[in-house]
Structures are given as C-alpha cells and as structure tokens.
Amino acid sequence: MSVSCPACDFLNAGDAAFCGCCGGALGRVCPACGAGPLAAGISYCTTCGAELKQPRIAVERKIVSVLFVDLVGFTGLAETLDPEDVRTLLDPYYARARAELERYGGTVEKFIGDAVMALFGAPIAHEDDPERAVRAAHAVREAVAGLRTGESQDLHVRVGVATGEAVVNVGARYAKGEAMAHGDVVNTAARLEAGAPVDGILVDERTYRATRFQIEFRPASPLHAKGKTKAVSVWEVVAPRGHPGTDRFRDARKLVGRAREVEVLVGELSEVVTSGGARLVTLVGPPGIGKSRLVWELFQRIELGAEMVFWRQRRSKSSGRQVATTRTRPSKRSTRWFETKSSRPSSAQCKSSKTRTRGSRAATASKNRRQAANASVR
C-alpha cells in the first residue's frame, strides 16, 4: 500500500512517515506533543489525547479570467487512430499549451481529454490578468498551428475566455480531482469555447472591456449558449496590439480624479530637478487601481516641460525578479537622467576601471621620473 503526500501528491511507501520528495509529514502532527504523522479522520491525538483541530480549506473570492481551449474534431480523429498514436498526438499539444499558458502567468487547472482549462488571477493575481489570458489564448493558437506537420495536419483549436467572480480553493489538489475555481464564469468560458469558430478565440464583455485597448477585436454575433437564459455578448480576437503592458490609446482618455497623487509625483520630480538629489516613490495598491496610469501621467507632465529628460522604464516580471528601481543623476548640461539600477556598472567593470586608472597613474609617474633623471644627467 502507498501513501500520497498531502503537499506534493508524491506516492510513498505505506510505512513512510515523511515524503521522500518534499520531506513533508505524511499526515497531521499533534500541536501539543508533536506526535505524528497521525491517521486521517481522527479527532484526538493517540499519544497525549489532545483535541485535534480539523484543517480549514483556504477559500477566497476573486476576480479571475478562465480560459478553455479544445481541439476541433478530435473525437472523430481519435476514433480512427491507435491509442498510442493518440498519445503521440496529444503529448506535444499538452506541452506547448502548458508552456504558453504558464509563460503568461496562468495556472493550468486540468486536462480533460483534449481540452485544457487555465486560470488567470488565481492563486496569484496580477493587474492585467484578462490581458494575459487573451495573449495566452493567441499564443496557444499559434503554437498549435506550428504543430501541423505530417499526421498532425488536422490540428485546430477553439478558445474561450471569460472574466468574472469565482470562489477559489487555494489549496486545491489536482491529483485528487479537486477543482480550484467555482462559479458561473467557469461555465461561461466553456460555452464560449464551444461556440467559437475553428481557430477562433471568443471573449465575453468583461474581458473585452478590460483588454479592448491592448487587443484588436472584431464584433461577433451574440452567442446563444446552452443553459443561458440570455444571449452572451461576445467578441472575436484578431491579434494583440504591441507588447504586453502597452496601451496605444491611453493618452486619448482623460484621467478622472487622482489629482493629489499626480501632484505628489510632480512635486518629487521638481525637488529632484532643483536639488539634484535622488527621490524614491513607491506606488502601492491592488491590481487594476491605476498605478501604471499615474506613472504615465508623470511621463506626460515631463513631456510638456522645457527641460530635456531621458526616461527609462522597465516592467518587472510576474515572478518578482528583475525589479527595476530608478535614480536621478544631474549632468553638466542640466540634463536629468532616469536610469535603472541594472544600468550601473558591475563590480567587475568597476574593478577593471580602477586597475586601468592605477596603471595609467603608475605609467605617468614612471615617465616623469625618467624625464627628471635625463635632465639631471644633462
């Protein structure tokens, strides 16, 4: 008999007390005496008799974007193929789909036959999860198109993306069939996928409103989805606009409110220009509240100014690495530079520069001594 690890689902021997993969205890531990692992389902410690509290499920209510992707006509294709050929066909499809979905910060919840379901916004939320979901859908479509070789010429997909509220089980264990998200948004995304054209991507109204300036859409006829009392307004994805995080139409929309926050940023910039010292301003807020828009407004104020400013901007990755900080440095021409920390020379560069400086000084001193010696001889 084997025991599944509650943390990583690794199968261990029946007499194992700790997981051989992650090292976690294969069962609960008594908080009073530390005995464990204890058998599942008991209410009291079998060593000291202390009462054991039942573990609570971490459930959160979140705004998520749900993506469904499915192969077109795969049921009929699988009927004509050997099971090993079906697996040979599906394995690269699963791998490419997972790679593209996770590259944009999505979480693959499950594979159902030839269908894939992914979440954006759970368990980790970003300020642009709808945009990430649509860009990932487009990337998956392009990746599947690249797999059409030899026996895979008939690979085509349908994709549906919907955004809305869902109850999220953060600690869901996929190996035991536990779903992460629950809510109507999951059903809507599945219906959009079923109603999408071949190699098409359909999104609902909430996803369209959140991404209409970053993604190019074409209007589509309302979808009369199964089980829905009203027709669902949908839009079809044409292609992304620019790189992730860019908004070509941002300057065409007037900022409402936030005057105090903008003045704080402009005031700090004025202090930097006047004193030449550095200032660090941190914008903190939940995803989608408008932090990036405030930075854009500061950029617009700089563009209207008379002084020349070099602006360098960088976007941190979803993993939190390579976070860029800014500093200012005055020059002889009263030009203000906004530089990232990564633009500073490395320690190796500094060391080589110092070595060259010392060498040049030593060479100069040696030359002076030779000239002095020649003068004394004469």
For residue range 17-62, what is the model confidence (pLDDT) as tens digits?
A: 778 887 777 767 777 787 777 776 677 888 888 887 766 667 888 9
pLDDT higher than threshold 60 for residue 263? yes
pLDDT digits (tens, 9 = 90+) for 212-248: 888 999 999 999 988 888 999 999 999 998 777 665 5
Q: What's the residue count for the chain? A: 378
Model confidence band, residue 290 (pLDDT cutoffs 50, 70, 90): confident
Retrieve residue 309's tokens: 């400013």
> What is the C-alpha to C-alpha distance for residues 336 and 10, in angstroms, rounded to an integer?
56
Written as one string, the DSSP assignment of 249-285 is: TGGGS---S-HHHHHHHHHHHHHHHHH----------
* Least confident segment among 191-205, 286-300, 345-359: 345-359
Main-chain phi, psi angles of 249, to 5 degrees: -110, 15
pTM equals 0.61
DSSP letter assigned to residue 20: T
> What is the C-alpha to C-alpha distance for residues 126 and 120, in angstroms, rounded to an integer?
8
The upper half-sphere exposure of residue 308, i.e. CA atoms within 13 Å in the direction of its Cβ, equals 6
> What is the C-alpha to C-alpha distance for residues 25 and 331, in angstroms, rounded to an integer?
60
pLDDT higher than threshold 70 for residue 147? yes
